[in-house]
Every structure is written in structure tokens, then in C-alpha cells.
Chain A
Amino acid sequence: MTVSEIRSLMLEKVIPESLLPQNIAVCLMDENAAPPELDAFTFLNRLRSLGIGSADFLYLLKGCGAPEEAVSKIEQHPDMNLQTLIVTLESSGLTPKDYTRMLYTARQLWEHTITMRIDSGELEAAAESRQEEQPEPQVPAETAESAEQEAPAAEESAPEEPAETTEPAEPSEPPRPVRTARQRKRRTEEPSEDESPVQEAPVLTARQKKRTIDDLAEELGIAAEIEDEPEEKYTARQRKRRKEEAAPETETEQPAEVKEDSPKARRNAIIAAAAGAAVLFALGPLMDILGFTSPGSSGGDFQFASDNAAVFSEIYTAYTNGRISSGNTQKLSKNEQVFGDMLISSGEELGVFSSGNTLWSAEPDGISVYALDSGTLAAQVFPPEGAEFVKVVQTDSGVTAVYSGDTECGLTGVDGSGETWRYGQSGTLTDIFCGGDVIRLGSVYTPGFTKSFTVDDMLEYLPYGSKNGQRTAFSPAEIAVSGSADGCSYAVWGEYAAENGEQKKRLAALGSPIYSGAESFTAAMSRENGSAELTADSGSLVSAALPEITACAAGNGVIADAEKSDGGVTVYLRDSALKPLAAFTTGGEIDQLRISGNVVYVGSGGSTVMAVDISDTSSPKALDLTSADGVVSGDYALCGAVSKTGITLTLYKLESGKAVQADSFAKALTASELESFRFSGANCFVINGTDCSGAAYRYFDGVSVVDEFAELGRSRSLHTLYDDKTGYTGAAAVDGGLKLLSGEKILN
């Protein structure tokens, strides 16, 4: 027997729960004892850990009502050393309660500072707006006075009940929250929350409370100071972003085709284009020769165009009749997944992947590449301007990310060294298919039509593919046209190698698409009277005229479309030849469909309202599911839930088609802690079966911002960060061990 063998036998002994770090606190705490009192030294130390500078410090002192003598002494001696500062504070008459209040307020300023540093652009806009609203500039004395008036009122009940601090300081005008791009996106998805958060909600949500606290800080005048020096406080990623934003004119890949993207601008442009084209050939006779119908009519089957003139002429006809696009493109569906009898929705993060010495953490706005041996950030990869990553898959050489923007979508690959490649296609993404070594994308593209062009200016009116920014227009043989001139937009489809992004196949259809499928070339088109659906069945085009379609999906060899009828909306399931297989009704409007595996997800208003099992396509069955938030990985799913008394993490295993609990973790939190509680996101969910799973979350415990990672599995433990500005940003199980990420570094 070896030492390691006997060691493994010894370590089989499970450490009692009471000794775990999260529980030892109970043994150490005397609940009847008063909380420790802050003195000047501890107070200053804690302030320093929050990064509070001298200007903020003076605001805190004034706001707390510190004796003027002490404040002016500190003001007059900005180079005062720590010892003198401690003596000054100790002799100022400030009590431990005062220190606690100031520390609490400082923490609110600290949180506000983070938000503002992330989004300085909006901050500047907000500052300009404030200046317009308040023409008389504030002198420092007024600011200080304002702080004196506002801060104590806000701090009365501060330490125990942070949210209520905002109520006395509620501004008379609607709050002007400063948000990150992602926060803005979330807000736009929750319009009711954004409309009037303070006036309409007697009981504020945690987010609303934080925002109003931010406004308090803004009232205190901290915003202006932070504005002065935002550059040096940005992270590497933010700096790069700003650099890119500061030099848009150097971007040569994207012509200015979207700058005047209005129907009027488009109309002007195409008329100019047609005039130019007429110089080259007689457009009218050509149209007759090609057999195109006159504007206003509809009908006809899709066929691949014989030459560019066929596409050009149909665009001319459609544009002349004001038919540009459907204007109703189906959005890419949310990442929801049926797991047994549960419907699990994940966050926006895209996952953490590892291979060898490299770890990739993917978020919509960038992929961070870490070197495991050094525990540091090795590289960062960003999506193209105006785009964001929507899906990431691991490959042999690294990861491949799918990005989507307003005018282009595609793939970016990154290996362990940060080396990248990029392949793309025109249009906004409507569907993704990932199958082994290929990734297929479906997108809807409307050319900009912002300048005059002839039939030879192919990139101005044809869909295109791109390789590292170099565009190539589709050939006529890759574009299906119907001759009915229903629109000037394209349903675009491309197939790519997952490993290196090389484009293998591509097709497009001209018209007014509302959806372009990914698994195989499938398009749903809006027409003047009804809709058309087409697909490429074994290489040949198949199309069908249908009633008005509101949503469409293709997957698993099945096409589903939601058709409007007198009785409401009916979802039809069709085979690849577009023949109906079965149908079901949903009882309400539908604007989104998605097929994943054997399930059709039916969406309305941004949320999934129904999931239907189509394993037997002739007999679809609606599934009775329980919604949960979490992440699915293979046969396991980890879900997080918040109740009135605390939080739970539950690891489920899929057994015989049902989700069976495999492990769980529970933590009791007070009502005030729950108000600030949030899970740290899908990237902080680790699922490696019952060996190592867990999730990170953040809350404010009344004194500190606590970031914890609750580890389930063999090594049950709680990893904690206190007052860490970044907190946990990712986690992964690597070689059976846990790796926790925080910003640009790996913590363990």
C-alpha cells in the first residue's frame, strides 16, 4: 500500500457540517453581543478598501455632521498623514454609530462608482442633461450643503435597512438611472419596470432601491468627480471598447449603408440606382424577357436566379412598390430547455470552457481567455462592432462563438493563444444550428440601399458572405427569387465548419422574410396576401403559398409555422416537402417558435408560453412543465431558487425522462439580505455531476457585499469574497477541481 492510497482512505472521512466555514461562524458568534464598534482606524481602513478618495471622504464627513473644525482641518491639510487623521477624527466627537453610517453611505457610493465607470457615455449624456435642467452651476459650498441636507436624512435608518435610505431623498423628477448596455437591454425587455419605478411602486424592488441610492449619490455630486477621470479606471476590455468607439471612421469594413436607413432614404437611393442601371441596359424590355410580373402582382414559385439582373430587377420592382421588408423579423429565441418535467431558462452568459492549460469564459460582449498555469488573463476576443455573441461551442482547437448584429452575423473562433478568425454572412440572426463539426446560421438581411448602384455593384444589393472582413456577394445560383417582387430583403443561410469557420454552403431567398432557418435552408416569407414558405429539399427548392404566418421554426427535420386563421392561431408541423403532418392551437398570439430536439417552444411577448413534444410528429403533445432558472449540462441541471427565507441550489439528474434531485444546498438569508440577493449568472454555475457542482451569488449583508460560491459534491464548501468589486465572474470544473474567476484573474 502506498502513502497516497492510505491518504485517500483517510480522506474518505467526511468533514462534519458544523466545521464547514459557512457554519463555523455560528460557533464563533455570540448572538447576544453587540456588533463590534468601529473606531477611527478601522473606519479609515475600510474606507480605503472601498477605494474612497479624499473628496468623497470629505463629503461623507460633512454629510454625517462632523464638527466643522475637524472638517476644515482635514481640508486645509490634504497631505495629513494617517496618524494625524486618526487623532483628528478621534477628537472630533464622531461616534462609532457615525462611522457605521458613513461606511454604509460610502458603500453606496462605491456601488454607484462601479456602474458609472462602466458606462461613462451615458453618464456624460446625463450630466449634459442635468446642466440643461439646472442652468446655474453648483458651487462647491452648495454641494456640500446639499450633502449635509441629504445624507443624514438618507442615513437615519441606513445600516439595518439600506433600501429605506432612498425614500427621504427621493428626487422630485423621475430618477435617471445610469445603466450598462446589458442593463439597458434588460430594461427594454421589461418596459413596465422602466416606466416609472419610484412613483408606481410603494414597495421597491432591490434593483429599484439600488437605482434610487445611485440617484442619491448623484445628488451628492459624486458623479461629476468621477467624470473627470474615467479613462484610467476602465478595465482593459472597456478601454478597448472605448478606443473602438472613438475611431469609427477607421472601420473600413462597414460602408455607411445603415446610417440613413429609412424607407424614404431607401426609396431615393434605389431610384438613383435604377437610373444608373438604365444607362447600362434597357431595364423594361429585359424584365419582359426574364418573365417577371408587373409590380403589384404576386404568386409564382421560387427558383434560383439565372443572373444578377434577375435579382436586381425584382428588387427594383419591389422597391418601386414600397415593399422593402416584412418589418417583422422573428427574434432569436431564448435559451430555454426542457429537462425532464422542467423548463429551465439560463442567463445571458454563454459558458466557461477549458482544455489543457486554457480556460475560456464567454459573455455576450466578449470572450476572456485565461492561462490556467499563471491564473491570469491571456487574451480577450470581442464581437464585431454592433454585434454580440449569442452562442459558444467548444472545438478541438478552442472555442467558436456565434455573433449577431444588425447587419451581419457569423462565427469567430479563438484558440488558447487568443488567435482569431471570423467568417460571417449578411443579416440579423434568426436561427442557429450546431451539429458536430458544422454550424449553420439563418439570418434576415435588408441591404442598406443608401447610395446609387448598378447591377454590377453586387455588394450593394446582394447578400454576402465575409471572411475576416472581406465580403463576397452571393452568386445568382445561390439566390432564390419568386418573380412576385414581395420585398427587397433576403432570408440568408450559411453552413460553416465549426473548427475553422470555413463556409461550406450558402443560399438565400429574396422577398420579405420573417424567419430564416438554420438546420436546413428554410424561409418563411411575408406576402401581400398571406405568406410563402420555402425550403431546399435534397437540393431542389420546394415552396408553398400559405395564410399569414406570424412565426416559424425548423429543426429535427420538421418545420413548424404559426398561421393566422379566423379561429386564432394554429401551429402546423410540416415535413421537408412542406406537407402538413399535424397541427395544434395555442389559444393566443404567437411571435416566436423554436424547435430543439423533440420539442417545439412556442413564444409570445418574449417568453415561452408553451412547449410541445413532437417525438411523434403525427400526434404533438403539450408538456406540463415547471419553470426554473438554472443551467443544463448533459444529464444534469443545476437550478437556483429564492424563497422568502433563503436560497436553494438543487442539482437534478435526468432519470427515465424525469428530473430527480441528486444534491442540494440551502442557505438562510434575512429579508434585507434577500432584497439585494442575486445569482451571479450562468457562467458561475458549475455542473460536473455529483463530483463538483455549484453556483455563485451576491448579496449585501448589512455591512459587506458578500460574494459566495456554494460548492456541492465531494468537497462541500463555501468560497467567499467580501467587498470585492468584481466578485465571481465565472467558474468551471477543471480536472475535477473547481476554478473560480474574478475579472481578469483565476482565484484558485
Chain B
Amino acid sequence: MDKREYKELSELAANGGTKAFARLYETVYREMYYTAFYTLCDDADAVELVTASARDGMTTINKLRSEEAFRAFMFRNLCARIRTKLRESPVQPIQESGGFDIRAEFSRLSEAERLVASMYIGAKLQPDEISLFTGLSSTAVNKTLEKVLTAFELD
């Protein structure tokens, strides 16, 4: 999406254009969902938080001057909501239902590991983006990733 297109869409969205906002949201919703789902290990919670972040995005869009700013806002907002949610109801380890269950594997990781791993593996975000969105330092992100890859015995 080029700058002009973003500007037009964001202006429409700022004036209540939900369809224009949907176009912007389209660029991030997959990554957001996989981040939320594998960090919270719960579908309903993931849907709730992504939807809430989308609402926040809609009301804040007039202040977000670029697609990068929009993307950063959406993920930061989601991360903040995820942390709040986890404080309210921490994730309990899930029993594997026969065979390799990726969600059960995630549920056994720590909160930070789940967040970083779901962003890196599920949402295909780069470590520097993860650092930017989560507020963790680059070193912390890399160390966490190392731990996760070891835990999953990943190459």
C-alpha cells in the first residue's frame, strides 16, 4: 500500500468509513490473530482482543500518519491487551489430545515465550519488529526466541 492510498483510506476511516478501515485492517489481522491465539491459547479470547484492538484502531486512525504507524499501534495495542488478559486469567497447560498439538506445546511456555514465539513463528514478524511492538529489548527477544526454539527442538 503506498502512502497516498493509506492516506485516503485513513481519512475515509477517520470519517467513519468502516470499509476503508477494513482495508487497512486487512493488512494486519492475520498476524494479530495468530499472535493472540497462540499467546492466549484460547480462540474466544483471541477474537475478543483482536476485535477490541480493531475498534481502538478505528478511533485512533486519524492520528496514525503512516501504514507503519498503524501497524505498530495495532500490535502494541494488542500486546497491551494480551498482557492485561493474562494477568486476569493466566493460561493453564493444555493436555495434548493425541499426537503433536501445537497449541498444547505453546501452553507450556512462559507468557513472554508464548508472545515472542507466536509473533515470530505464527505471525512471521522479525525480531526487531517484535521488540518494537512488545517493548522488550532486542537482546531479550533474541534470548527468548533461542529458548523457544530449543524447547521445540527447532532447527
A18, A20, A717: which has the most chain B beta carbons within 10 Å? Answer: A20
Task: Name A1-35 residues within 8 Å CB distance of B.
Answer: 1-3, 6-7, 9-11, 13, 15-16, 18-22, 24-25, 27-29, 35
Contact of B9 among A3, A19, A706, A722 (CB under 8 A): A722
Shortest Cβ distance from B47 into A: residue? A16
Distance, CA A15 to CA B16, complexed state (A): 25
Q: A residues within 8 A CB of B26?
A: 21, 717-720
Q: A1-B152, A7-B121 are in contact. Are A22 and B22 (CB under 8 A)?
A: yes
Q: B residues within 8 A CB of A2?
A: 154-155
Q: A residues within 8 A CB of B137?
A: none
Q: A18-B47, A19-B47, A722-B20 are in contact. Are A27 and B152 (CB under 8 A)?
A: no
Q: A15-B30, A19-B33, A19-B50 are in contact. Are A38 and B100 (CB under 8 A)?
A: no
The answer on a CB contact under 8 Å between B122 and A21 is: no
B-side interface mostly: helix
Shortest Cβ distance from A35 into B: residue? B16
Contact of A28 among B8, B21, B29, B47 (CB under 8 A): B21
Shortest Cβ distance from A7 into B: residue? B121
**1/0 contact trace for B142-155 toward A, CB 8 Å?**
00000001001111
- For the complex, is B67 an interface residue (Cβ under 8 Å from A)? no
- For the complex, is B65 an interface residue (Cβ under 8 Å from A)? no
A746 vs chain B, min Cβ distance (A) = 14
Shortest Cβ distance from B33 into A: residue? A15
The answer on a CB contact under 8 Å between B34 and A24 is: no
The answer on a CB contact under 8 Å between A25 and B34 is: no
The answer on a CB contact under 8 Å between A38 and B154 is: no
Shortest Cβ distance from A39 into B: residue? B15
Task: Name B32-68 residues within 8 Å CB distance of A.
Answer: 33-34, 37-38, 43, 47, 50-51, 54-55, 58
The answer on a CB contact under 8 Å between A27 and B54 is: yes
- For the complex, is B139 an interface residue (Cβ under 8 Å from A)? no
The answer on a CB contact under 8 Å between A10 and B19 is: no
Q: A residues within 8 A CB of B152?
A: 1, 6
Contact of A10 among B43, B122, B154 (CB under 8 A): B122
Distance, CA A25 to CA B11, complexed state (A): 16
- For the complex, is B12 an interface residue (Cβ under 8 Å from A)? yes
The answer on a CB contact under 8 Å between A722 and B23 is: yes
Q: A residues within 8 A CB of B100?
A: 9
B31 vs chain A, min Cβ distance (A) = 11
Distance, CA A29 to CA B51, complexed state (A): 12
The answer on a CB contact under 8 Å between A9 and B102 is: yes
**Interface size of B in residues (CB-CB distance below 8 Å):** 40
- For the complex, is B6 an interface residue (Cβ under 8 Å from A)? no
- For the complex, is A701 an interface residue (Cβ under 8 Å from B)? yes
- For the complex, is B138 an interface residue (Cβ under 8 Å from A)? no
Distance, CA A27 to CA B49, complexed state (A): 12
B127 vs chain A, min Cβ distance (A) = 13
Q: A residues within 8 A CB of B21?
A: 24-25, 28
Q: A residues within 8 A CB of B18?
A: 24-25, 28-29
- For the complex, is A357 an interface residue (Cβ under 8 Å from B)? no
Q: A11-B34, A11-B122, A28-B18 are in contact. Are A19 and B155 (CB under 8 A)?
A: no
**1/0 contact trace for B107-125 toward A, CB 8 Å?**
0000000000010011010
- For the complex, is A36 an interface residue (Cβ under 8 Å from B)? yes
Q: A residues within 8 A CB of B17?
A: 36, 703-704, 722
Distance, CA A16 to CA B58, complexed state (A): 20
- For the complex, is A238 an interface residue (Cβ under 8 Å from B)? no
Q: A residues within 8 A CB of B155?
A: 1-3
Q: A16-B43, A21-B25, A45-B11 are in contact. Are A10 and B102 (CB under 8 A)?
A: yes
Q: A15-B30, A722-B12 are in contact. Are A25 and B102 (CB under 8 A)?
A: no
The answer on a CB contact under 8 Å between A720 and B22 is: yes
Contact of B153 among A1, A25, A720 (CB under 8 A): A1
Q: A residues within 8 A CB of B51?
A: 18-19, 24, 27
Q: A6-B154, A36-B16 are in contact. Are A21 and B121 (CB under 8 A)?
A: no
Q: B residues within 8 A CB of A29?
A: 18
- For the complex, is A42 an interface residue (Cβ under 8 Å from B)? yes
Q: A residues within 8 A CB of B22?
A: 21-22, 24-25, 28, 718, 720
Distance, CA A3 to CA B119, complexed state (A): 12
The answer on a CB contact under 8 Å between B23 and A720 is: yes
Q: A18-B47, A42-B11 are in contact. Are A704 and B16 (CB under 8 A)?
A: no
A3, A10, A29: which has the most chain B beta carbons within 10 Å? Answer: A10
Q: A residues within 8 A CB of B11?
A: 42, 45
Distance, CA A11 to CA B33, complexed state (A): 10
Shortest Cβ distance from B154 into A: residue? A3
Distance, CA A718 to CA B19, complexed state (A): 11
Contact of A704 among B19, B29, B121, B149 (CB under 8 A): B19
A2, A3, A49, A720: which has the most chain B beta carbons within 10 Å? Answer: A3
Q: A residues within 8 A CB of B16?
A: 35-36
The answer on a CB contact under 8 Å between B19 and A25 is: yes
The answer on a CB contact under 8 Å between B19 and A701 is: yes
The answer on a CB contact under 8 Å between A21 and B23 is: yes
Distance, CA A113 to CA B102, complexed state (A): 55
Distance, CA A18 to CA B15, complexed state (A): 23
Q: A residues within 8 A CB of B37?
A: 13
Q: A residues within 8 A CB of B54?
A: 24, 27-28
Distance, CA A286 to CA B22, complexed state (A): 82
Q: A15-B33, A24-B29 are in contact. Are A720 and B19 (CB under 8 A)?
A: yes
Q: A residues within 8 A CB of B103?
A: 13
The answer on a CB contact under 8 Å between A7 and B12 is: no
Task: Name A697-718 residues within 8 Å CB distance of B.
Answer: 701, 703-704, 706, 717-718
A100 vs chain B, min Cβ distance (A) = 11
B122 vs chain A, min Cβ distance (A) = 4
Distance, CA A706 to CA B29, complexed state (A): 21
Shortest Cβ distance from B34 into A: residue? A10
The answer on a CB contact under 8 Å between B29 and A3 is: no
Q: B residues within 8 A CB of A703?
A: 17
Distance, CA A45 to CA B58, complexed state (A): 19
Distance, CA A21 to CA B33, complexed state (A): 12
The answer on a CB contact under 8 Å between A6 and B9 is: no
Q: A residues within 8 A CB of B29?
A: 15, 19-21, 24
Shortest Cβ distance from B38 into A: residue? A10
Q: B residues within 8 A CB of A21?
A: 22-23, 25-26, 29
A508 vs chain B, min Cβ distance (A) = 56
Contact of B121 among A3, A13, A720 (CB under 8 A): A3
The answer on a CB contact under 8 Å between B34 and A13 is: yes
Q: A residues within 8 A CB of B15?
A: 36, 38, 42
Q: B residues within 8 A CB of A3?
A: 121, 149, 154-155
Q: B residues within 8 A CB of A718?
A: 22, 26
Distance, CA A18 to CA B22, complexed state (A): 12
Distance, CA A42 to CA B20, complexed state (A): 14
B145 vs chain A, min Cβ distance (A) = 10
Shortest Cβ distance from B27 into A: residue? A21
21 inter-chain pairs at a CB distance below 8 angstroms, sorted by A residue, are A3-B154, A6-B121, A7-B121, A9-B100, A10-B34, A11-B122, A15-B33, A18-B47, A18-B51, A19-B50, A21-B25, A24-B25, A25-B18, A27-B54, A28-B22, A36-B17, A45-B8, A704-B12, A719-B26, A720-B26, A722-B8
Please name the 9 residue pairs, one residue from A and one from B, whose CB atoms are nearest each other, closest first: A36-B16, A25-B18, A21-B26, A21-B22, A10-B122, A36-B15, A9-B102, A28-B18, A2-B155
Beyond A6-B102, A9-B102, A36-B17, list 18 extra A-B contacts (CB 8 Å): A3-B155, A6-B152, A6-B154, A10-B118, A13-B37, A19-B29, A19-B47, A19-B50, A20-B29, A24-B18, A24-B21, A25-B22, A27-B55, A45-B11, A703-B17, A704-B12, A717-B26, A722-B12
